């Protein structure tokens, strides 16, 4: 299996590289808990259509090394940049989901945009859901911390009981098999307890709002109306307003897991976004 070494501490991070080597490059940055398998409904069709689709398992996730350190946003962003440099990728479309969107933003503001042509923020936590001095309408940090404590006490229950809200399964159009949902719950355990708790703690203070305003490249923002993890008005819509060059697409009834419930729509929107030149 292919690996690259983290520029932060040498941790071995597993990556996948699908499609033709000469294809237009799309790099996927995962949500917390998941590895690259979360993108199967985007990576496989796009690779078959001639795109080069690259993704990696974050430290402490999937097939990458278990690690204690490196879960601050700068280090996570350095790992993303490390992948781009390891494969010498250019003219990249950088796609992030959930907390992965913050890693994408920090990667660009920390390392520059010379390798990246455009960005897609999918069900993003960016710019940050918590209340802060510049975001008084945000969620009380104490509520996020309480959820994090529930996670620490019983990760298994947290994943199992949160699946319906994650995929908004009680709303029309979000039709997933019980087998698929269970498989994704199981895959959440591919992240170590350390990795999961560290990323949960990161969300409490996450604030990349000033960085979004500095991104001088096209950005597609995709968000669901019923995203319980990253409420639309606090994250996706706010991100689109902060970005200099953004396109906001709102999916009716979609939750945080729209990469599965709205798989074809998301894949089509990514393809359309990349075709703009």
Output b/e per residue, 79-113; b: 16+ Cβ within 10 A: bbbbbbebbebeebbbbbbbbbbbbbbbbbbebeb
Residue 133, pLDDT score: 87
* pLDDT, mean of residues 142-155: 94
Q: How far is CA 18 from CA 22, 28, 228, in A?
A: 11, 12, 32
Q: Which residues contact 31 (CB under 8 A, 6 or more apart)?
A: 38, 97, 98, 99, 100, 123, 256
In Å, what is the CA distance from 187 to each residue of 3, 44, 60? Answer: 20, 19, 13
pLDDT in tens, 196-231: 999 999 999 999 999 999 999 999 999 999 999 999
pTM greater than 0.95 (yes/no):
yes
- pLDDT average, residue stretch 26-53: 98
Q: Give the residue, 1 or 256, on which the prediction is more confident.
A: 256
Rg (CA), the chain: 17
What's the mean pLDDT in 26-46? 98
Residue 277 has pLDDT above 70, yes or no: no
CA atoms within 13 A of residue 165's CA, in its CB half-sphere? 10
Banded pLDDT at 1 (limits 50, 70, 90): low
Average pLDDT on 224-248 reads: 98
| Residue-level pLDDT at 65 | 98
- Buried b / exposed e over 13-35, threshold 16 CB at 10 Å, is bbbbbbbeeeebbbbbbbbbbbb
pLDDT value of position 134: 86
pLDDT in tens, 74-112: 999 999 999 999 999 999 999 999 999 999 999 999 999
Q: For residue 119, name the pLDDT band (cuts at 50, 70, 90).
A: very high
Closest CA to 113 of 8, 211, 28, 21: 211
Report whether pLDDT(140) > 80: yes
With a cut of 80, say whether residue 276 has pLDDT above it: yes
Averaged pLDDT of the chain? 97
List Cβ neighbours of 152 (8 Å cut-off, separation of 6 or more).
Answer: 197
For the stretch 178-194, pLDDT in tens is 999 999 999 999 999 99
Please give the DSSP secondary-structure letter assigned to residue 30.
Answer: P
Active site residues: 98, 227, 256
Instruction: Look at the alpha carbons of 231, 206, 56, 214 in this order and tell me if their dihedral is positive or negative.
Output: positive
């Amino acid at each position: 299996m292919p690996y690259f070494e983290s520029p932060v501490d040498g941790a071995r991070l597993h990556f996948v590289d699908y499609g033709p080597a000469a294809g237009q490059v799309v790099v996927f940055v995962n949500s917390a808990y998941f590895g690259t398998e979360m993108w199967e409904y985007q990576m496989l069709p796009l690779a078959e259509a001639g795109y080069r689709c690259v993704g990696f398992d974050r430290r402490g996730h999937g097939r990458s090394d278990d690690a204690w350190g490196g879960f601050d946003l700068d280090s996570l962003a350095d790992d993303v940049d490390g992948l781009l440099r390891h494969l010498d990728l250019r003219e990249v479309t950088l796609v992030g989901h959930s907390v992965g969107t913050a890693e994408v933003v920090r990667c660009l503001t920390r390392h520059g945009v010379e390798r990246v042509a455009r960005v897609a923020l999918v069900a993003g936590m960016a710019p940050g859901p918590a209340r802060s001095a510049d975001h008084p309408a945000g969620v009380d940090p104490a509520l996020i911390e309480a959820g994090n404590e529930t996670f620490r006490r019983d990760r298994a229950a947290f994943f199992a009981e949160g699946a319906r809200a994650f995929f908004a399964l009680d709303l029309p159009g979000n039709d997933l098999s019980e087998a698929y949902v269970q498989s994704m719950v199981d895959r959440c355990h591919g992240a170590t307890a350390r990795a999961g708790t560290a990323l949960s703690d990161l969300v409490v203070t996450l604030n990349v709002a000033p960085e979004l305003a500095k991104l001088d490249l096209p950005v597609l923002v995709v968000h669901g109306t019923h995203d319980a993890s990253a409420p639309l008005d606090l994250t996706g819509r706010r991100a689109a307003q902060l970005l200099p060059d953004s396109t906001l697409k709102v999916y009716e009834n979609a939750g945080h897991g729209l990469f599965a419930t709205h798989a074809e729509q998301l894949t089509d929107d990514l393809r359309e976004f990349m075709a703009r030149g």
